[in-house]
Amino acid sequence: MTVGTRLPLAGGVAVLLASIALEPVFVNLRWFGPVVLVLSVVVAISVLARRFSATAPWAPLLELAGALLALTALYVPGNALLGVLPTPASLGEMRTLLEAAGYAVRTQVSPAQSLDELIFLAAIGVAVVAVTVDILAVSMRRPAVAGLALLVLYSIPTAALVQGIPWWPFVGGTAGFLLLLFVDSREHLLRWGRRPDDEDQAPTFGLVAAQRIGLLAVVCGIALPLLVPALPPGLIRPAGGGAGAGPGTSLSPLAQLVGELRLPESLDLLRVQTNVDDPYYLRVTSLEVYTDQGWALASLDDTFDAGAGDLPGAPGSSRTRTVDAQIEVLDHDDRFLPTYYATRQVDGGGDWRFDEISGTVWSEDDRTGGRTYRVLADEPVPTVGGLRAADDLDSEDQVQRRFTALPLVVRPEVSQLVTSLTEGADGPYERTRAIMDFFTDPENGFFYSLSTEPGTSGDELVDFLVSRRGYCEQYAAAMAVMLRFADVPSRVALGYTPGQQNAGEWTVTTDDAHAWVEAYFEGIGWVPFDPTPLGGGRGVQRDYAPRLDAANPTATASRSGPSASNTAAAPTAQLEEDLLGTPGDPTGGDSAGLLDPVTLLLSVGVVLVVVALLSPATLRMAARRRRVRAARGGRREGALAAWDELLATAADFRSTAKQADTPRVTARRLAREHGFEPDTRESIRLLAVAEERARYAPAEQAEVEGDLAGSLRTVSRALRAQATPRARVLAVLFPASTMVDLRAALQGVRTRARGRWLSMRRPAPVS
Amino acid sequence: MLPGSAMDDLDNDPRHGGDRRADDLDSDAEPLGLDRVREAMGRIAANIERVIEGKPEVVRLAIVVLLAEGHLLIEDVPGVGKTKLAKALARSIDSSVRRIQFTPDLLPSDVTGVSVYNQEAHDFEFKPGAVFANLVVGDEINRASPKTQSALLECMEEQQVTVDGTTYQLESPFMVLATQNPIEMEGTYPLPEAQRDRFTARVSMGYPDVYAELAMLNGHSGVDPLEGLAPVSSAREVRALIRAVRQVHVSEPVQKYLVDFANATRRSPELRLGASPRASLQLLRAARAQAALAGRGYVLPDDIQALVGSCLPHRVILTPEAQIARRDAEQIIAELVRTVPVPRGTVETGVR
């Protein structure tokens, strides 16, 4: 038998349409090209293979090899032979890419940046799905089962997007699946003609079956996105975290920052016009929870509407200046609104909330994309004198307790360092300066690098303090911890440096993503400190926090700058991961990474469990157990169940009972087709007689004679013995009877809907 | 043994006795058990088969029709034993038998009977016609004029005869066995649809196979085998059998199947006229007899499938297109058997 080229093509188109589901996962369409290329290679090989050989059991292997070549040519041509053939070196490079992708999956927020490693991962995924669909739909001729493989693609946005999935990827996938079914039905029809029991259906070239399955697919397609994404927020959001619910999504601003910094090409995010010449950093939010997993966001208060007039003022009462900024959003799209510290007013539409403690303007539903908004802020202008005069807060003070909390034991290296640095320092400001100077003193040899070196100490903070290379995240995190250890209330602020000034406008790009430290002083409030040695004049210096390296900026600029190096060396992953991870602390507010391993594993696990539960094999097993139990019970139900099970087993071995056959006709036909031994014939006769008695005899004559379960076992064994090993495996993994049951169920629904007496099947007039 | 509705008969009849049913000899007796029904039917069949060799299915069908209170149309070429089958059945049962040779000049009154003036009594007196018997063998029924044929109509359907405004009840059991010759049609009057519909089943004898024909030559050459055929049953027993057959259970899915099937013939694009509701009714009765013949107390769809080939083709009319395509009714009905789904009925809500 020839399979033709339509089916492999249809499979490819179905995978392509289903891969639309990846669109919401990425910020742009860069992933599409590589995915299409790899998919085309797989489909082309499948088509060619079926040209050469009808069954082509080796085709999937060739397809996998083709996908490997295509991926090699796309991503690691340097180490490959002729740019295409994989070598050990190129394979090693692929491994590195995969590891980087694993890291990116853990750290990226969705929609994720179009990083090469993520696209690489997506292309591999689509290639595997395409080969699976090919095996199922073309080699095994089970296109309906191939739908499960297509469903895998949907599990990606389902797991990654917590804010819900748009409807249109499902339309694409459903259309692809329908196409696959349609083409398969059509091929079937062209080769074998219509099944005799299908004669009541108008000649629609298999559309009817496609309609039925398609209907189910659409129903599932609508139901799944409604059900699945509804789970994670409720399940994963920690219970603690102060007043009000936390954000419905556990966005990780820190991961967002890393993603932006690592972007291969920088994107313009914001255009800012301000009334001041030296605006300080644009602030997104601040992280106040420190655990052994790193810094994380606390729960955000959603009760305060940021659009409703003046916001509560920042704590403290130092002198302020008014910053008035008009911000136009370019490529920025986030649920945190970049503002200036001590925001008084936000004006720009949308449902924005204000979290007073962290000073964050955020939204559960709205995003910044495409907006233009105005921010009015009362930026504190602390003086050195004022800061010096500030006393330590009372140890029972709310702020003091909350923002000096260090739930873990600080390593002796760190504690010794802090103690020695702050020795003799008087008051919190002096201590803060001492720690800041430690980072900015050129003597100490800190320099900026997007790639960090792995340490051997086992503690990331210690590693950083030893290697002294890192970027804003490490600097800010380390300084904030050290401040806390020195009893200065502190937190990590996230946002953007002011960017490039051009004709009165500031342009903020992804390279400006930044993290710094805020320290709290009594009577003054939160004061920003930036320990990171930023090059290129990006950083802003304030009088109260002079940089010791400021006199010699070239020393750091020469080997720094956010664009210095963006090769994500695998070893850095550990440190970053630990800095970025989720707080395990129950009091610690919301989790950080949206795609953090727990969420991801949980979501994928839920999807896998659902798929496994719905899988034909499981359904079949459950049905069998139910029926055999009923058969053991004997009586009328037992007879019916035994017969059902017999029919199902026969259907699994491709002898579907015709609807127009009576029990004894079916029994006779099965016995003939499978060449049963006399005792098997006797068993099947017993089952058939029991069935017709149960169905047609009056209740008082419906008693069952003989051992139903035993006979069932005999017949099932005989059926299995007749089958080829391949058929036996198929009968277990993809039992055809589940499709028959599905069909019957659908028919039952239809029949009931039409009313009992009107439901008589009538042959459609052949015109 | 079928208690249920059978008990109704037992209770009712003696209490409201005196009506026609009181005449039924066995009405106050228990209906026969299934095994007795089976045995009696087998006895009759064996007796007939002594004469009609090699045609057990035709013989069985004839008995089924008898017990279904129906009538049998035997249609085949001359000389295959149509009349012999009819006579053998008639002789096997010890009952009144009349034979009518239908000819073009046969009059309705010859069939039904006539009122003649009795000079002594000074009154008209009814002389019963040929139909006043348990078994009426109508030979070459298509040779009689439509007028005479239709005289049979009332008798067959209603088991009664009305002459000069007076209605006379026919005996029970009452069965018409008509033979018809499908070739040599000149000067004949083929039965109209209305009349064909009154026959429960139509059978073709078909040519006997070689061995049966050899045996027939050996056996028939000497004496007429019918001569030696002794009755093995009686009208009284047949009445009891009929009552037992009436008790055979017909489940809802089987009824549904029957209706589905009749509907399928009505909707078939190849049939201009499908099966009538009377056809369904007669089919159901025949199916009961068929089940009883197998010693079963309930009807299976298999019984219906086995009977539709005999009970439906003579009632349906093909469309001109189907006729041109050289299809015949038997073919179309056989195809419907393969396509009409067998319902499982309400029990479907059990374990699935």
Report the gap between the CA of A630 and the closest CA in chain B (Å). Answer: 7
Residue A752's φ and ψ, nearest 5 degrees, are -60, -35
Residue A642: band (very low, low, confident or very high) from pLDDT cuts 50, 70, 90: confident
Name the CATH code of domain B31-247 (choices 2.60.40.1120, 3.40.50.300, 3.40.50.920, 3.40.605.10): 3.40.50.300
Contact A763 B298 (CB under 8 A): no
The CA distance from A394 to A428, in Å, is: 12
Assigned token pair, B125: 């007196």
Does the pLDDT at position A303 exceed 90?
Answer: no
Q: Considering the domain B248-346 in this protein, what is its CATH number?
A: 1.10.8.80
Highest mean pLDDT: which range of A141-145, A212-216, A236-240: A141-145
Are the CB atoms for B295 and B40 separated by under 8 Å? no
Q: Tell me the CA end-to-end span of chain A in Å, nearest whole number.
A: 32
- Show residues of chain B in contact with A763, CB under 8 Å: 264, 267-269, 339
Candidate from A200, A660, A696 with C-beta closest to B299 = A696
What 3-state class would DSSP assign to A325? Answer: strand
pLDDT of residue A236: 31
Candidate from A659, A660, A701 with C-beta closest to B298 = A701
Highest mean pLDDT: which range of A266-270, A464-468, B39-43: B39-43
Are the CB atoms for A428 and A519 separated by under 8 Å? yes
In chain B, count H helices and then E strands. Answer: 14, 13
Report the gap between the CA of A182 and the closest CA in chain B (Å). Answer: 24
Does the pLDDT at position A585 exceed 60?
Answer: no
Contact A698 B351 (CB under 8 A): no
What is the amino acid identity at position A593? Answer: G
Report the gap between the CA of B194 and the closest CA in chain A (Å). Answer: 26
What chain A residue is nearest to B338 in terms of C-alpha separation? A660
Contact B351 A200 (CB under 8 A): no
- Show residues of chain B in contact with A665, CB under 8 Å: 302, 305
Contact A664 B4 (CB under 8 A): no
pLDDT of residue B347: 44
Report the gap between the CA of A634 and the closest CA in chain B (Å). Answer: 12
Residue A233's φ and ψ, nearest 5 degrees, are -60, -45
Which of A635, A760, A762, A767 would you mutate first to test chain B, the one with the most B CBs within 10 A?
A: A760
Average pLDDT over residues A517-524: 85
pLDDT of residue B299: 92
Q: What is the DSSP string of B136-166?
A: EEEETGGGS-HHHHHHHHHHHHHSEEEETTE
pLDDT of residue A223: 64
Candidate from B299, B337, B351 with C-beta closest to A660 = B337
Does the pLDDT at position A96 exceed 80?
Answer: yes
Assigned token pair, A70: 């295509």
- Show residues of chain B in contact with A751, CB under 8 Å: none
Are the CB atoms for A85 and A66 separated by under 8 Å? no
Contact B337 A694 (CB under 8 A): no
Contact A762 B299 (CB under 8 A): no
Candidate from B298, B339, B351 with C-beta closest to A641 = B351
Contact B302 A665 (CB under 8 A): yes
The CA distance from B199 to B62, in Å, is: 12
Cα separations (Å) of A42 from A30, A56, A439? 20, 14, 53
The CA distance from A102 to A525, in Å, is: 40
In which residue are the tokens 């839920």 written? A606
pLDDT of residue B265: 92
The CA distance from A286 to B326, in Å, is: 89
How many inter-chain contacts (A to B, CB under 8 Å) are there? 94
pLDDT of residue B7: 36
What chain A residue is nearest to B344 in terms of C-alpha separation? A695
* Environment class of A260 (CB within 10 Å of its CB; exposed 0-12, middle 13-18, buried 19+): buried
Candidate from B253, B339, B351 with C-beta closest to A660 = B339
In which residue are the tokens 């085309």 written? A40
Cα separations (Å) of A657 from A145, A208, A650, A664? 22, 20, 8, 11
In which residue are the tokens 């010791």 written? A548
pLDDT of residue A752: 59
Per-residue pLDDT of chain B (352 residues; tens, 9 = 90+): 334 333 333 333 333 333 333 334 444 455 677 888 888 888 999 998 888 877 888 889 999 999 998 999 988 888 888 888 888 888 888 888 888 888 888 888 888 888 888 888 888 888 888 888 888 888 888 888 888 888 887 788 888 888 888 888 888 889 998 888 877 667 778 888 778 888 999 988 888 888 878 877 776 666 677 777 888 988 888 899 998 999 898 988 899 899 999 999 998 888 998 899 989 999 999 999 999 988 888 999 999 999 999 999 998 999 998 888 888 888 999 999 988 888 875 544 333 3
- Show residues of chain A in contact with B297, CB under 8 Å: 697-698, 701
Q: So where are chain B's domains?
A: 31-247, 248-346
Average pLDDT over residues A607-623: 75
Of A243-252, A343-352, A476-485, the one with minimum mean pLDDT is A243-252
Report the gap between the CA of B68 and the closest CA in chain A (Å). Answer: 20
Residue (of A652, A670, A673, A665) closest to A734 by Cα position? A652
Q: What is the DSSP string of B196-238?
A: HTT-SEEE---PPPHHHHHHHHHHHHHS-GGGGPPP-EEHHHH
Element (H, E) at A666: helix A663-674
Report the gap between the CA of A199 and the closest CA in chain B (Å). Answer: 8
pLDDT of residue A109: 61
Cα separations (Å) of A14 from A24, A41, A183, A197? 18, 15, 11, 29
Contact B350 A641 (CB under 8 A): yes
More confident call, A319 vs B293: B293
- Show residues of chain A in contact with B348, CB under 8 Å: 748
What chain B residue is nearest to A197 in terms of C-alpha separation? B339
* Preceding peptide of B173 cis, ω within 30°: yes
All CATH 3.10.620.30 domain ranges in chain A, comma separated: 264-589
Report the gap between the CA of B343 and the closest CA in chain A (Å). Answer: 8
Assigned token pair, A472: 């804003």
Q: Tell me, what's the ipTM?
A: 0.78
Contact A662 B342 (CB under 8 A): yes
Write down the mean pLDDT value for chain A. Answer: 74
pLDDT of residue B210: 85
Q: Is A58 on the interface with B (CB under 8 A)?
A: no
* Preceding peptide of A111 cis, ω within 30°: yes
Does the pLDDT at position A320 exceed 70?
Answer: yes
The CA distance from A498 to A545, in Å, is: 18
Residue (of A472, A481, A416, A476) closest to A447 by Cα position? A472
* Environment class of A590 (CB within 10 Å of its CB; exposed 0-12, middle 13-18, buried 19+): buried
What percent of chain A has a predicted confidence (pLDDT) above 70?
74
pLDDT of residue B258: 92
Report the gap between the CA of B238 and the closest CA in chain A (Å). Answer: 25
Assigned token pair, A602: 């949980």
pLDDT of residue A621: 84
What percent of chain A has a predicted confidence (pLDDT) above 90?
0
- Show residues of chain A in contact with B342, CB under 8 Å: 659-662
Candidate from B263, B267, B342 with C-beta closest to A660 = B342
Candidate from A695, A760, A763 with C-beta closest to B345 = A695
Contact A660 B341 (CB under 8 A): yes
The CA distance from A435 to A67, in Å, is: 53
Axis crossing angle, helix B277-293 with helix B34-49, rounded to the nearest 10: 90
Interface of A with B in 664-723 (CB under 8 A): 664-665, 692-698, 700-701
The CA distance from A165 to A607, in Å, is: 15
pLDDT of residue B64: 92
Assigned token pair, A549: 């390296």
**Parallel/antiparallel/unpaired status of strands A360-362 and A353-355:** antiparallel
Which of A665, A696, A712 would you mutate first to test chain B, the one with the most B CBs within 10 A?
A: A696
Average pLDDT over residues A356-381: 82
- Show residues of chain B in contact with A644, CB under 8 Å: 351-352
pLDDT of residue A193: 47
What chain B residue is nearest to A659 in terms of C-alpha separation? B341
Contact A644 B338 (CB under 8 A): no
Are the CB atoms for A232 and A607 separated by under 8 Å? no
Contact A637 B352 (CB under 8 A): no
Of A218-227, A542-551, B96-105, the one with minimum mean pLDDT is A218-227
Contact B254 A696 (CB under 8 A): yes
Dihedral of the alpha carbons of A294, A299, A304, A307, in degrees to the nearest 10 = 50
Q: Considering the domain A264-589 in this protein, what is its CATH number?
A: 3.10.620.30
What is the amino acid identity at position A46? Answer: S
What 3-state class would DSSP assign to A519? Answer: strand
Dihedral of the alpha carbons of B123, B124, B127, B128, in degrees to the nearest 10 = -120
The CA distance from A19 to A13, in Å, is: 10
pLDDT of residue A259: 66
- Show residues of chain A in contact with B268, CB under 8 Å: 763
Assigned token pair, B177: 């066995």
From chain B, which residues contact A within 8 Å (Cβ)? Answer: 3-4, 249, 251, 253-254, 256, 259-260, 263-264, 267-269, 297-302, 305, 337-342, 344-345, 347-348, 350-352
HEC-encoded secondary structure of A436-498: HHHHHCHHHCCEECCCCCCCCCCCHHHHHHHHCEECHHHHHHHHHHHHHHCCCCEEEEEEECC
Contact A660 B259 (CB under 8 A): no
What 3-state class would DSSP assign to A327? Answer: strand
Element (H, E) at B257: helix B252-267
Please state the length of chain A.
767
Of A63-72, A441-450, A534-543, the one with minimum mean pLDDT is A534-543
Interface of A with B in 164-203 (CB under 8 A): 196-197, 199-200
Are the CB atoms for A442 and A550 separated by under 8 Å? no
Contact B302 A760 (CB under 8 A): no
Report the gap between the CA of B227 and the closest CA in chain A (Å). Answer: 42
pLDDT of residue A245: 30
Are the CB atoms for A25 and A156 separated by under 8 Å? yes
